[in-house]
């Protein structure tokens, strides 16, 4: 892309790269696709054993397939789903942290705070304020990236 001289030429290079990439990537297995669907439906509150049984495979097989296809264990996928659910709730003014924690399948507010700090690097209360202030992108896709750590939330002020 660096060699391409114009924006149009860079776009063509990018399109070609993505087309080739799509051709090389295998379709997801039914088991992993179903597991992700179930994790989302349960808001992340489902065990790997139950997922595997519902998907018609062993928990070991499901873990292997999930890691191969997503890079994450089913338990980690569920963790991301819980964080995303909490972020959605925290973006609404007036939702207490404790309520967001319970609705997102965390055992308590402290558990949610630990997960946020470990996965995102910020406290839920800080993110809640930023989400409502407009300092964080308003598009749901960008908020989804925040929950996975792929989009960094800008720091406000100097500490």
- The mean pLDDT of 83-109, rounded to a whole number, is 88
Q: Are 90 and 128 in contact (CB under 8 A)?
A: yes
User: Which helix (H) or strand (E) element contains residue 109?
Assistant: helix 109-119
Pick from 90, 140, 149: nearest CA to 119: 149
Is 35 domain-assigned?
no
Q: CATH number of the domain that 124 lies in?
A: 1.10.10.60
The model's pTM: 0.66
Is 63 domain-assigned?
no
Q: Are 77 and 70 in contact (CB under 8 A)?
A: yes
Give the whole-angstrom CA distance, residue 53 versus residue 73: 16
Is 141 domain-assigned?
yes
Confidence check: pLDDT of 154 > 50: no
How is residue 78 written in tokens? 């569920």
């Amino acid at each position: 892309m660096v060699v391409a001289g114009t924006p149009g030429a860079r776009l063509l290079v990018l399109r070609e790269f993505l087309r080739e990439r799509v051709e090389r990537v295998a379709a997801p297995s039914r088991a992993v696709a179903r597991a992700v669907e179930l994790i989302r439906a349960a808001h992340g509150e489902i065990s790997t054993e139950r997922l595997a049984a519902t998907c018609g495979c062993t928990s070991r097989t499901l873990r292997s397939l999930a890691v191969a296809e997503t890079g994450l264990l089913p338990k980690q996928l569920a963790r991301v789903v819980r964080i995303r659910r909490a972020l959605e709730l925290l973006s609404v003014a007036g939702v207490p942290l404790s309520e967001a924690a319970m609705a997102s399948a965390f055992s308590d507010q402290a558990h949610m705070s630990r997960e946020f700090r470990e996965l995102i690097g910020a406290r839920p209360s800080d993110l809640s304020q930023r989400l409502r202030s407009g300092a964080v992108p308003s598009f749901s896709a960008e908020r989804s990236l925040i929950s996975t750590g792929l989009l960094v939330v800008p720091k406000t002020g100097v500490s």
